[in-house]
Amino acid sequence: MASSEISCVILAGGRGERLYPITQTRPKPLCPVGNATCLTRCILAAKKAGVKDITVAACYLADQIEKEAGCFENVFVKRETVMLGTAGCVRECDPSGEDILVLSGDGVNDFDLKELVDFHKKSGHICTVAITRSPFPTEYGVVNAKEGVVKRFCEKPMWEKVTSDTVNTGIYVLTRKALSFIPGGVFFDFSNDLFPLLMKKGYTIGAWEGVGFWCDIGNPKALYDCSMSYTGGRASVHPSAVIGKGVSVHSSIIMENTVIGKNTVVDSSVICENVTVGDNVLIPKGCVIGGNVKIGDNAVLAESITVASGAVIGKGGRIVKDIKFGGVKGRLFDGDEGINGHYGETFDVSDGVVLGSALCDASGENPKIGVMYSGNSSSRLLAEAIGCGIRYSGGVLYDLGLGFETLCGFCSKEYMLSFAVFAEIDEENSLNIKVFDSNWNPVRGKTLKAIENSFYRGGKASGIIQNVFIPNEFESPLYLYTSSLVSRGKSLKGFRLRADAATLPGKTLSSVLERLGADTSGGIMSTPGVTVTKEGRGLNVVTEKGNVLDFWRLLAFYLGVEAESKKTIYIPEDTPSAVASYAENKGCECLRCSDTQNTGRDFDYCFKDGLFLLISVLSICSKRGISLEKAAETVPEFFIRAVTGEYDETAKASKIKKLCDECGREDGAVFVFDKGTVRFVPSSHKGFKIISEAASSEYAKELCDFALEKLKD
């Protein structure tokens, strides 16, 4: 390959699981956008920018990539045999230019890439990232930039971590010096590895904002919307497709060699290659039909139906539910909130089987996965479905039985599990599935993505069905949990505290208090008393004098004691400032870190579980000979108030950026006042969560009211 001033590498090796069923039979870069594939559009854009030689990095269905690339001069294909990550792949391609333009084969745009290259050369940065604005930044990497320089990267954050609407487009220009920092033969990404390394070494990374259209075809809806943007909403029909007499095709994508019979209606849908559709068929809005599907005469599909590649729908078939390859539409996990939705509509028993299989797939070798459910038959059925998927995929199933969320998290550590799953369906069929890793943390980051990707492709099958481990009485979750609580506690003789047994955690707490010698007698309204939320973390203690200690005030007291013997305490990111300040006033430093950053410094169980926290606080009181009332008096009152502010979903990302700019912070929109603080957190559901901290309940309310008004600005 002849040397040139600038070379180009197009990354085209990914499987594109989130685009299934479309990518079951074609690589993502060969998805059509208007009258051309993504790969063709990338090649033409690179040539327009002055690039002479282009290397396409291919892996999944690479023969199809080679066929398409062969239509162009000076375009070469490099097959990946080992997955090396985005940066590692570029290094492996060995581009010849002094500068290297990197494009994502699944992105299309109308940016002036020559302007990007010129910006890079003039700026002198070791590399430059092309950014653009997006109303939905959680699908991409968020970039905080100022005056053309990158300040911070956050790869595919959950909404609560979003601080800007500028995103990484996957378009870069690298110097050869930047290339020299990429190690050979190991997995190495741009956003997660190379860019943080360069910034740590003191290099600046340029940020060039592209103006115009940009789209990453991450899922079927994104592909459809992108294609319609190019066609102006008109149907995109491949020349090789055969359309019968009387057929109505409206605002749809019809791919190669598809045959559609007479008098059929196709509306706002995607039909992949080699599909045969009979006469008088109805395919309404939002349907996605995979490759090689056969649909018989007079079949009728409901709106937004997905049909897996190779499926057969008989004559007169009525399809009201997806014919699945595995998975649901959209993001599977809703951040730390887990998997939510309406049971039977967005998620059902068959999805539970696929989830169990996907958890095994993401666990690596010899997976051990526990499943627990809340107290009703629907929850148990869902747990059994997840368990079937685990066993089907060669994992050892730990049947954890009936329980609650924090007990499930406790089991993840106690049994040294790969994952622990809590399944709950309430009386209104609302779904709640929590997945904990081996350290009692909600799954996040790469682990979460691995689970989602496997789920979208239907999990994995195994020829080996493993046994089920059912703990005996003295190995049961509740026995180990209560034993751990009792062993942590001190004698509580002389203490009187009644626990409300209306929830399973409350009933468990009452039992532990009795075993430690506390007096738990009294009626429902008697004091001192404690109520525990159904998940086991939240609690409220009311002392004899009516002093209220919630989870955070109890934690402040506990950290204040810990601070007497420790110089540094690691606390979760969501810990209120008042709690951290109380501990720091005792002489220690509180360092906030996420669950994924706590390697070698696991958070105390007290951060995760209300029962462990309360028993620890009571034991401290017992050891020091003070009452719970006295402990309450040592912790200043502070009030936390949370409300929801509705906001236009398409403008939420730009609003959080404006708020962050206004308060001068890159880590979140927090406004600080003399008597308190108020934080804006983008919500994955809708609008913003607004959280205030103040010395009085009245001022906490005022701060929330201030924030709600600010959303109207």
Whether 222 shows a pLDDT value over 80: the answer reads: yes
Select from 170, 196, 161 the least CA-distant residue to 181: 196
In 3D space, the residue among 544, 543, 536 whose CA is nearest the CA of residue 506 turns out to be 536
pLDDT of residue 346: 76
At the top level of CATH, which class does the domain 479-634 belong to? alpha beta
- What is the mean predicted confidence (pLDDT) over 605-613? 94
Question: Is 60 exceeded by the pLDDT of residue 376?
Answer: yes
The answer to whether the CB of 563 falls within 8 A of the CB of 591 is no
Predicted local confidence at residue 628, as pLDDT: 87
**Between 119 and 153, residue with greater pLDDT:** 119
Tokens matching residue 146: 């100022």
Neighbouring residues of 16: CB distance < 8 A, sequence distance ≥ 6 = 22, 23, 27, 28, 60, 106
Q: And the tokens for 274?
A: 């080699």
pLDDT above 90: percentage of residues in the chain: 60
pLDDT at 136 over 90: no
pLDDT at 247 over 90: yes
**pLDDT, tens digit, for every residue of 275-320?**
999 999 999 999 999 999 999 999 999 999 999 899 999 999 899 8
More confident residue, 615 or 649: 615
Q: What is the pLDDT of residue 1?
A: 39
Domain chopping of the chain, boundaries? 6-216, 235-319, 336-471, 479-634, 639-710
Dist. CA 592–CA 595, nearest whole Å? 10
- Per the CB < 8 A criterion, the answer to whether 405 and 608 are in contact is no
Q: What is the pLDDT of residue 4?
A: 54
* Burial of 562 from C-beta contacts in 10 A (0-12 / 13-18 / 19+): middle
Say which CATH architecture domain 336-471 belongs to: 3-Layer(aba) Sandwich (3.40)
Confirm whether 336-471 and 479-634 share one CATH topology. yes
Buried b (16+ CB within 10 A) or exposed e, 103-137: bbbbbbbebebeebbebbbebebbbbbbbbbbebb
Beta strands in 527-626 (DSSP E): 529-532, 539-542, 548-550, 568-572, 589-593
Can you give the C-alpha Rg of the chain in angstroms? 28
CA 433 to each of CA 341, 347, 422: distance values in angstroms, whole numbers, following the listed order: 10, 10, 6
Long-range Cβ pairs for the range 264-272 (8 Å, 24+): 268/224, 270/22, 270/220, 270/223, 270/224, 272/21, 272/22, 272/25, 272/26, 272/309
The pLDDT confidence band at residue 463, using thresholds 50, 70 and 90, is low
Ramachandran quadrant class, 600 (left: phi over 0; alpha: psi -120 to 50; beta: rest): left
Residue whose entry in the numeric block shows the structure tokens 């800007």? 164
Which residue type occupies 11?
A: L
What is the rounded average pLDDT of the residues 476-502? 92
Banded pLDDT at 334 (limits 50, 70, 90) = confident
Asked whether residue 64 carries a pLDDT value surpassing 60, the answer given is: yes
**Where would I find the H helices in 568-651?**
577-584, 605-608, 610-624, 628-634
User: Mean pLDDT of all residues in the chain?
Assistant: 89
In angstroms, how far is CA 283 from the centroid of its own chain?
32
* 3: pLDDT strictly greater than 70: no
CB 584 within 8 Å of CB 604? no
Domain 235-319, CATH 2.160.10.10 — does that match? yes
- Type of residue at 203: Y
* pLDDT value at residue 251: 95
pTM score of the predicted model: 0.76
70 phi-psi bin (left φ>0, alpha ψ -120 to 50, beta other): alpha
The pLDDT value recorded for residue 523 is 55
CATH architecture, range 639-710: 2-Layer Sandwich (3.30)
With a cut of 90, say whether residue 445 has pLDDT above it: no
Q: Is the pLDDT of residue 661 over 70?
A: yes
Residue 303 one-letter amino acid: E
The CB density around residue 300, as the number of other CB atoms within 10 Å, is 17
Residue 667 predicted with pLDDT over 70:
yes
The predicted-structure confidence for 227-245, as pLDDT tens digits, reads as follows: 999 999 999 999 999 999 9
Residues 149-194: tens digit of each pLDDT = 999 888 888 888 888 899 999 999 999 999 999 999 899 999 889 9
Give the pLDDT confidence score for residue 595 in this predicted structure: 53
Q: How many CA atoms lie within 13 A of 434 on its CB side?
A: 23
Q: Is the pLDDT of residue 452 over 70?
A: yes
Fold of the CATH domain 6-216: Spore Coat Polysaccharide Biosynthesis Protein SpsA; Chain A (3.90.550)
Whole-angstrom CA distances from 525 to 501, 529, 544, 549 are: 12, 8, 11, 16
* Strand partners of residue 128: 173, 206
> What is the predicted pLDDT for the residue at 601?
47
